[in-house]
Amino acid sequence: MENALKGLSVLEVGVMTPGKYCGFLLSGWGAESIRVERPGQEGDLSTEDLLLNRGKQSIALNLRAPEGRDILLRLCKNADVLIESYRPGVTTRLGIDYDAVRAVNDNIVYCSLSGFGQGGPDHMQPAYDLLFQARSGLSHLLTEDAPISPKTWLADSVSGLMAAFAISAALRQREATGAGAHIDLAMLDSLFSLLSVSHGTMREKSPLAGAEVENWANRPAYNMYRAGDGRYLALAAAREVSCRALFAHLGRPELAELALVPGEASHAAFDFLKTTFLTKPARVWVEELSALDNEIAPVNTPEEAFDDPQLNSRGMILETAHPSAGTLRQIGVPAARAGTAVPAPGMGRDTATILRTLGYDEAKISDLRNGNVI
């Protein structure tokens, strides 16, 4: 998979976190990605940039200047993909909308990634990840108590992943038809689609979507427990054979059947497990019960996940070195094994190099810089 997209060129224009993550995945699978930045953004790279811009090039262009727009359109002539995440209407004002780009390259895959999509009553509204999680129904599912502010940007990551998938599908379609495509992808749509596996159908006589899944969350054999050292354990002994092995090992085989059902009937099994898991540290329980082929895992912090042996063995943790940020440990790209460890570029680092490939000489590059075009 490392080179599955080798030979494909991607432009990232005005993209925020979801678009960066999409480009990160595509470049991790072998594509060449150029980020188009605004001039004047030089400085220290954020933690997000150090990871999500890894393996990319960076050009600084003032797209409000006619010459800046013309440079972008020249880059589009040989590009396979363009990702933009402006608010609807901005690309038209800049002269880089799908029709303008298609006029110079009619087989480009053009992905518009926005909060609410290019149409609908709310398509012009600004929004943040928190609002997408709330409107999609996800916030309601993440806690038994009052909804809480999440500690990760799930809508950003899911939307970037969905964009990479949609772009790959459009590229496959282009192989078959020779035609490019305009992808209209909304972050709210992408996050809401995640609920398809659990809450995807509303029945007329049973309007509560996801009732079956919520029952799973109320089973003692499929739950979270605090261990004796204060750490938490995730127990998923949902198979009957696992559940029976667990309670036999703990000396209460008669509770196994109760642990597989939700509701009041299971309280005895839940109370027993809650008390029992407090008697030993989480690490001891994981080692002890894993040996019985029980499904159990520690509830790791993100920092602890970096030391997970399985993730490390899969190449999902990379040791990298950045010229200004120093030595880093970073998340890799799924299915790409080693992925790309080429350091993230400074803002606009490759501007002159890219312009030279378009035929600009040093004098013209100097004029563009003096005119605040680059």
Output the pLDDT for position 88.
95
The least confident of 120-129, 198-207, 224-233, 258-267 is 198-207
Rounded to an integer, the average pLDDT of 91-101 is 97
Reported as a single tens digit per residue, the pLDDT across 268-318 is 999 999 999 999 999 999 999 999 999 999 999 999 999 999 999 888 899
What single string gives the DSSP state of each residue in 166-202?
HHHHHHHHHHHH---EEEEEEHHHHHHHTTHHHH---
What percent of the chain is predicted at pLDDT more than 90? 77
Q: In terms of CATH, what superfamily is 9-194+344-370?
A: Crotonobetainyl-coa:carnitine coa-transferase; domain 1 (3.40.50.10540)
Q: Which residues contact 206 (CB under 8 A, 6 or more apart)?
A: none
Architecture of domain 215-301: 2-Layer Sandwich (3.30)
Q: SS3 of 299, please?
A: coil
Given pLDDT bands bounded at 50, 70 and 90, which one contains residue 211? confident
Output the pLDDT for position 207.
58
Rounded to an integer, the average pLDDT of 307-334 is 91
Reported as a single tens digit per residue, the pLDDT across 333-360 is 888 865 557 899 999 999 999 999 999 9
| Alpha-helix runs per DSSP H in the chain | 17-28, 47-52, 66-77, 90-94, 98-102, 129-136, 138-141, 154-177, 187-193, 196-199, 211-216, 240-249, 267-277, 282-290, 302-305, 309-313, 351-357, 362-370
Output the pLDDT for position 338.
58
- Sign, CA dihedral 193-195-196-197, equals positive
Cα–Cα–Cα angle for 131, 137, 139, rounded to 5 degrees: 65
Q: CB–CB of 85/114 below 8 Å? A: yes
Reported as a single tens digit per residue, the pLDDT across 139-154 is 988 887 888 888 999 9
Output the pLDDT for position 1.
66
What are the C-alpha distances in Å from 137 to residues 156, 186, 196, 200, 276?
16, 16, 12, 11, 34
* Whether residue 161 has pLDDT greater than 80: yes
Domain positions in the chain:
9-194+344-370, 215-301
Mean pLDDT score across all residues of the chain = 92
- Phi/psi for 312 (5° steps) reads -65, -40
Total-model pTM: 0.90
Output the pLDDT for position 337.
65
Residue 184 CA to residue 196 CA, distance in Å, equals 20
